[in-house]
Structure formats: C-alpha cells, structure tokens
Amino acid sequence: MEFPKEAVEWIGEGGMPTLYRSSNGSSRSFCPRCGSTLGAIDDHPTVALVTGSFDAKDISEFRPVFHAFEDSCPNWWKIDIAR
C-alpha cells in the first residue's frame, strides 16, 4: 500500500526503520529489532508498506482495488479484487 511520506508516522519502539538502499530512487525498510520487511521508502514522497506489517485486520480500506501486471498473470492465477 502506498502513502504520501507525510502521512506515515513511525510510532514503534524502534522508531524509523532500518534502510537498505536498493536502487537509485528507493530504499527497502526493515524493523531495526527483528528484521521484518516493512516496505519501501522512495526518494520522492511515497512510502510503500506491506499489508502484513499492520496490526489491524479486515480493514476495508486495505482491500486491493487494482493489481499491477494483472494482464500478464498465468490463466490459473485468480485475482480477487474489488471492482
């Protein structure tokens, strides 16, 4: 899930995640305590967080509304998204 950088507040015990520079425009983020992946922090104002990093479950706003590369998925891959 992508968010504007200013909408993300790091409130966990470790504060800001540990970063690994993965490309010219982005860094991967990890929990500084356990190493779990949190997502990507781009140089421009976008933070992409993996949905598994959120404590709350079944939040309707987290339901996918599109899928990147949907047209190139194999026929047996069924994508369930809200349309």
Residue 79 reports pLDDT greater than 60: yes
Q: In what order do the strands lie in the sheet with 2-4?
A: 2-4, 46-49, 37-42, 26-30, 18-23
Residue 81: predicted pLDDT: 66
How much is the pTM?
Answer: 0.66
Average pLDDT, the chain: 84
What value does the mean pLDDT take over residues 20-47? 90
- Taking residue 42's Cβ as centre, other Cβ atoms within 10 Å add up to 15
How confident is the model over 35-70, as pLDDT tens digits? 889 999 988 888 999 888 887 777 887 777 777 777
- Amino acid letter for position 70: E
What is the DSSP secondary structure assignment for residue 11, as one 8-state letter? -
Beta carbons within 8 Å of 54's beta carbon, 6+ residues apart: 62
Residue 24: predicted pLDDT: 92
Continuous segment of H or E residues that includes residue 22: strand 18-23
